[in-house]
């Protein structure tokens, strides 16, 4: 069954001038781009993208605390708190500031199992854990440790929807129906 997923080339990817290389990773696999645009994202859109929901924020805070424990850093000294919800709010703010700091290329990709395929292509959220050959493994060296200590988001080149439900929400947030195109690729025509 065909799915759609959202990929955002973040300001660090745009500023590095690797838009074409990132796009080519998806095209070489055979994924279809059904919409694409470059925009400077308003904070209210980013605020919807990084939901202000307690369970999401708490989850982000817990992951951040895990990284602090892993590296032996006291979160209270650095962030002024050990409350996962409060930390999640800080990380959300860092993400919102970063995503609205420069242009973003938003793409809507389509293929069977596209969410899972794209997640493999982009690699681990934290570039230091991303495998070589993935976008984050090849184009970024940032880590959770350095971003947390620097009180900023992890610069990892791209965002990719995490699951089918998230992809549906993000599609509605980032793309108008009139800007989504239906067409057949040569591969689709060939295999008819």
Check 32, 92, 155, 159 and give the catalytic one: 159
Task: Return the beta strands (E) in the chain as ranges.
Answer: 2-9, 32-40, 103-112, 158-160
The verdict on whether 76 is a catalytic residue reads no
Q: Which residues have C-beta within 8 Å of that of residue 96, sequence separation ≥ 6?
A: 43, 46, 47, 50
Question: In this structure, are strands 32-40 and 158-160 parallel, antiparallel, or unpaired?
Answer: unpaired
Q: How many CA atoms within 13 Å lie on the side-chain side of 38?
A: 9
The answer to whether residues 65 and 75 touch, using CB atoms and an 8 Å cutoff, is yes
- Strand order, beta sheet including 103-112: 32-40, 103-112, 2-9, 158-160
The answer to whether residues 91 and 101 touch, using CB atoms and an 8 Å cutoff, is no
The answer to whether residues 170 and 49 touch, using CB atoms and an 8 Å cutoff, is yes
Which residues are known catalytic residues? 159
């Amino acid at each position: 069954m065909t799915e759609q997923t959202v990929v955002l080339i973040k300001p660090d990817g745009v500023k590095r001038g690797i838009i074409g290389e990132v796009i080519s990773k998806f095209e070489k696999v055979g994924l279809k781009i059904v919409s694409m645009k470059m925009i400077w994202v308003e904070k209210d859109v980013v605020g919807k993208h990084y939901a202000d929901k307690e369970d999401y924020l708490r989850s982000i805070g817990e992951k951040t605390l895990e990284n602090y424990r892993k590296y032996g850093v006291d979160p209270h000294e650095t962030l002024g708190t050990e409350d996962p919800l409060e930390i999640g709010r800080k990380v959300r703010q860092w993400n919102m500031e970063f995503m609205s700091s420069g242009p973003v290329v938003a793409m809507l990709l389509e293929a069977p199992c596209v969410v899972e395929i794209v997640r493999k292509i982009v690699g681990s959220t934290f570039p230091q854990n991303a495998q070589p050959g993935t976008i984050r493994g090849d184009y970024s060296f940032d880590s959770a440790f350095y971003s947390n200590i620097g009180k900023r988001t992890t610069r990892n080149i791209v965002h990719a929807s995490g699951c089918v439900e998230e992809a549906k929400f993000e599609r509605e947030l980032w793309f108008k129906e009139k800007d989504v195109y239906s067409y057949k690729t040569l591969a689709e025509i060939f295999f008819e």
